[in-house]
Amino acid sequence: MWLMTVIDVWMQHPTLRFASQEMFASLWRWTGQQAPGAVPELRSTVAAMDEAGVERGLICAWYGPSGSLISNDEVASCVASYPGRLTGVASVDLRDPVNAIAELRRAVHDLGFRALRIVPWLWGLPPNHRLYYPLLAECVQLGIPFLTQVGHTGPLRASETGRPIPYLDDVALDFPDLVIIGGHIGYPWTAEMISLATKYPNVYIDTSAYACHRYPAELVSYLRGARPHQGAVRHELSHDHRQGGPCQAGRARSRRPGP
């Protein structure tokens, strides 16, 4: 019997200022839900993890042009409540590189966070934009992965920043030692994301926002090893919990970096 550990690499425990954003109206519509009128209890998030067999969740801060939607300190508070189940992922103000690097260092050294995540569509800037590069260099120095979003944008924002090629391709070329995790598979540019995971040993695909039965055919073929020249299968399991519905963790084992 093949035992596995399921780690959700894209989680957030919402604040009201996060959940009330108009850009998420499409997600509430798709899932038949309404934006919460109150912050859900953290124990309900952990209970959903238990129900789905998720051992650990990487719980993420959100920062955008309007400020923090979920702050690093709010994430740290969640982690402190369930240190055996949750791991913090930092976010920072992309527009202010000097202070952003200082905040990233604080999150890693003082708060114990294990990764940086920046959502490109939130900023309207692709990951090869010059404002990312000081932070990406710092990720290499800190020995932490860079998490980002690839593919179309579910919320009501433009999707162009989620194209893996050329944007993430440039990042992988410029930072060969940076571990890059592309969340949300990359659809409808799935083949582009697979090509990057094949081309670069430090590029990973995160399946967040997709239940297994909704994986694009190209990804299923890749995971089954139908293309021998692609080498080792590398992907991340996730479900985007607390944004688009209940926990839907996949059931596969992957080679992955992380805590």
In SS3 terms, 162-191 reads as: HCHHHHHHHHHHHCCCCCEEEECCCCCCHH
Residues 6+ apart with CB under 8 A from 219: 185, 190, 194, 205, 207, 235
Task: Provide the residue-wise pLDDT of the chain in tens; the chain has 259 residues.
Answer: 566 788 899 998 888 788 777 777 776 676 777 767 777 899 999 999 999 899 999 999 999 998 999 999 999 999 999 999 999 999 999 999 999 999 999 999 999 999 999 999 999 999 999 999 999 999 999 999 999 999 988 778 889 999 999 999 999 999 999 999 999 999 999 999 999 999 999 999 998 887 888 889 999 888 888 444 443 344 444 445 444 443 333 323 333 333 3
Amino acid at 244: G
What's phi and psi for 159, nearest 5 deg? Answer: -100, -10
Token output for 116: 């940086």
Residues 6+ apart with CB under 8 A from 227: 221
Rounded CA-CA distance 146/110 in Å is 19
Rounded CA-CA distance 130/192 in Å is 22
CB atoms within 10 A of CB 50: 12
Rounded CA-CA distance 65/69 in Å is 10
Q: Which pTM value belongs to this model?
A: 0.84
User: Which contacts of 39-43 are long-range, i.e. CB under 8 A and separated by 24 or more positions?
Assistant: 39/14, 39/15, 40/13, 40/14, 40/242, 42/13, 42/78, 42/81, 42/82
Contact 142, 111 (CB under 8 A): no
Rounded CA-CA distance 243/259 in Å is 23
Helix axes 72-81, 97-109, angle to 10 degrees: 10
Token output for 8: 């959700």
Region for 42 from its dihedrals, namely left if φ exceeds 0, alpha if ψ lies in -120 to 50, beta otherwise: alpha
Rounded CA-CA distance 93/96 in Å is 6
